[in-house]
Amino acid sequence: MSARRALQDGPADISSLALPMAGMPSPLYHQLKQALTDQIISGRWGPGSELPSENELCAHFSVSRGTLRRALADLATHGLVSRQQGRGTFVAEAKFEGSVLASYAFYRSGAINHDRGARILKCERRPASADLRDLLDMPAREPIYELQRVQFMRKVPITLAASYFPASLVPDLEKQDLANTHLYTLLEEQYGMALLRAQETIEPVLADDYVAQHLAIAPGTPVFRIERLTYGHGDRVREVRRSYMRGDRYKLRIDLK
């Protein structure tokens, strides 16, 4: 059922579009945004459905066009709708999902749902910055390898990742088939690198021009910034990874057990 049809299908559908916080000290645009969000999150309006026109929504909720557009802009920022010039507003595709508490084996196997391939932006040997040298516990003059790549989910660019390794651990890394092989499988099979655990920190940030360019999003779009430290034998860091993951197409789930 389309969103437009849902608005016109009778009292049951109309009642479901009531403002959820009437009488509460909450801005009107926020109440409207919540009413529309509920329809999308519940699945009542499926991906690709066209929302009712601005005129219909303004009339139904008795709100100004400015209030409505602010609510729609917030929905677009959160990746729930796509606003298409000259066509209208549509429910966005469902976000990809992953568990924050997944086991390290899950991530190491590539089961985070990234496509097998990756677009390689850079693989080069270079001097290590002071912070990377400290994290990797490297001698002062030892170089590192920097690997930058874009990872996809169902051919959609989702993650921009930069991985850093001591060069002595991954000689001639640039000669490997990095575009078609899962990275951790290659590190274990080609370099004998045992990777035993990882620690990640996640924070929301806004995409800069470089991140936006490679993830096919607008600058200022919310993304997750993820820093991962991957440990090997002796509990020494073997990889530092700094990634940006699209917040409009991916969400993190917490499983409480």
List the pLDDT tens digit at each of the 257 positions of the chain.
444 444 444 322 434 565 654 444 567 888 888 888 877 777 777 888 888 888 888 888 888 999 989 988 888 877 778 888 778 888 877 665 554 445 444 445 444 567 777 999 999 999 999 999 999 999 888 999 999 999 998 888 999 999 999 999 999 999 999 998 888 888 988 999 988 888 888 898 999 999 999 999 989 988 999 999 999 888 999 999 999 999 877 666 666 55
Mutual orientation of helices 28-41 and 65-77 as an angle, nearest 10°?
A: 50
| Residue 33: per-residue pLDDT | 85
C-alpha 159/C-alpha 150 separation (Å) is: 6
With a CB cutoff of 8 Å and minimum separation 6, the contacts of 6 are 13, 16, 39, 44, 45
∠ at Cα 219 (58, 31), nearest 5°?
25
| Residue 22: per-residue pLDDT | 47
CB 220 within 8 A of CB 207: yes
C-alpha 50/C-alpha 32 separation (Å) is: 17
CB 39 within 8 A of CB 16: yes
What domains sit in the chain, N to C, each tagged with a CATH number?
3-91 (1.10.10.10), 96-253 (3.40.1410.10)
| Residue 59: per-residue pLDDT | 87
Give this prediction's pTM.
0.63
Dihedral (CA of 78, 38, 66, 92) sign: positive
